[in-house]
Amino acid sequence: MITAAQSRLLEEIRRQGGADDGAEYWPVVNDWVRDSGPAKALALRNINRTVGALLRAGLITIDDDGYFHIPS
């Protein structure tokens, strides 16, 4: 089970092409924070923790060029 924040981030990655050619890291996390209402105040540490949780769960990958991918 993933948290609401993790779910929102995963959806933002998907929306920006993570299930296709990839979604660039910084535009994704910037849009995710901007669009998540009270989550606007998330610190970089919390962004990194949320991304890390999705990576550990195998729900996303990040390539050497800084693009998120959602494994099929």
Q: Which two tokens stand for residue 3?
A: 């948290």
Q: Which residues of 33-54 are buried (b: 16+ CB within 10 A; e: fewer)?
A: beebeebeebeeeebeebbebb
Give pTM, 2 decimals. Answer: 0.82
Q: Is the pLDDT of residue 38 over 80?
A: no
Write down the pLDDT at residue 2: 93
DSSP summary character for residue 23: E
Q: Which two tokens stand for residue 29?
A: 């996390």
CA 68 to chain centre: 7
Contact 25, 62 (CB under 8 A): yes
Averaged pLDDT score across all residues of the chain: 87
